[in-house]
């Protein structure tokens, strides 16, 4: 195994360099997406943990909103110029998708169609009116009071109404269950793009710093 290089923070990310500071902000914002992605793969298949898995997916919308905003700020400052100069086709494609889907002024972008709404209404913040809308549409639904653990412990018991309400709320925004599934699938790809681009841009910046020190 090769030795992992080290770097001096002040040389790689000087506080007065807006590009590098913006890169670090984007990297920080994307880390929650990486953490959620890692956890989703190891969550046990029980009622309570399946509920937790779905809630992590919901939280990922809020995390994607924050990372998308950080990406927009970084892109505006030209943070990805070094990465784009490498001719790395995969990253160029990811960047192109992010520029399109993280455009807060474009109503057809994924951020406008789902991500920001999910963050503001059903993820980092819970909107009273949206909960009321969901309850109104679910008024005749029959649900189990809980599922999973026989001991009714919060650690082993799932509460189905929570998932049903958030599902219905997002369906209302998307237009239908099928449309929501499509948007959620796109959101998963967006989250991967955000984290992978942040990681690649960071590594590119570190390598550039180390190369400059060797001159």
- For every residue of 122-166, DSSP letters joined together read HTSSB-HHHHHHHHHHTTT----S-EE-TT--TTTEE-HHHHHHH
Q: Phi and psi of 148, rounded to 5°?
A: 100, -120
Looking at residue 215, what is its pLDDT? 74
Q: What pLDDT band is residue 51 in, cutting at 50, 70 and 90?
A: confident
pLDDT band for position 185 (cuts 50, 70, 90)? very high
Q: What is the pLDDT of residue 128?
A: 94
User: Is residue 200 one of the residues assigned to a domain?
Assistant: yes
What's the distance, CA 69 to chain centroid?
Answer: 11
Q: Which candidate, 163, 71, 84, 173, places its Cα nearest to that of 120?
A: 173
- Domain membership flag for residue 8: no
Residue 151: the pLDDT is: 61
Residue 41 is predicted with a pLDDT of: 80
Q: Exposed (0-12), middle (13-18) or buried (19+): which is 122, by Cβ within 10 Å?
A: buried
Whether pLDDT at 214 is above 90: no
User: CA 93 → CA 83, 90, 99, 145, 205, distances in Å?
Assistant: 12, 5, 10, 46, 19
Residue 133 lies in a domain: yes
Q: Is residue 5 part of a domain?
A: no
Asked whether the beta carbons of 107 and 67 are under 8 A apart, the reply is no
* In-domain check, residue 10: no
Question: Band of the pLDDT at 139, cuts 50, 70, 90?
Answer: very high
Of the pLDDT bands very low, low, confident and very high (cuts 50, 70, 90), residue 124 is: confident
Percent pLDDT > 70 in the chain is 97
Q: Tally the domains of the chain.
A: 1
Band (72; pLDDT cuts 50, 70, 90): very high
Measured distance CA(59)–CA(70) in Å, rounded: 17
Structural domain that includes position 46: 15-138+145-214
Q: Given a cut of 70, is residue 180 above it in pLDDT?
A: yes
In a domain, 122, yes or no: yes
Average pLDDT over residues 25-54: 87
């Amino acid at each position: 195994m090769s030795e992992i290089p080290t770097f001096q923070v002040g040389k790689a990310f000087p506080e007065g360099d807006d590009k590098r500071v913006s890169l670090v902000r984007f990297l920080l914002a994307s880390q929650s997406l990486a953490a959620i992605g890692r956890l989703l793969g190891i969550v046990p298949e029980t009622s309570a943990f399946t509920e937790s898995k779905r809630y992590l997916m919901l939280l990922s919308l809020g995390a994607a909103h924050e990372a998308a905003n950080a990406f927009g700020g970084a892109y505006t400052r030209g943070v990805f110029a070094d990465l784009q100069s490498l001719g790395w086709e995969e990253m160029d494609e990811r960047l192109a998708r992010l520029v399109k889907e993280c455009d807060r002024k474009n109503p057809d972008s994924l951020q406008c169609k789902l991500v920001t709404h999910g963050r503001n209404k059903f993820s980092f913040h819970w909107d009273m009116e949206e909960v009321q809308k969901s309850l109104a549409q679910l008024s005749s639904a029959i649900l189990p009071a809980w599922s999973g653990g026989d001991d009714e412990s919060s650690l082993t018991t799932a509460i189905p109404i929570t998932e049903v309400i958030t599902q219905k709320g997002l369906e209302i925004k998307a237009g239908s269950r099928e449309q929501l599934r499509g948007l959620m699938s796109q959101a998963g790809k967006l989250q991967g793009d955000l984290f992978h681009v942040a990681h690649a841009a960071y590594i590119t910046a570190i390598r550039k710093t180390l190369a400059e020190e060797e001159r």
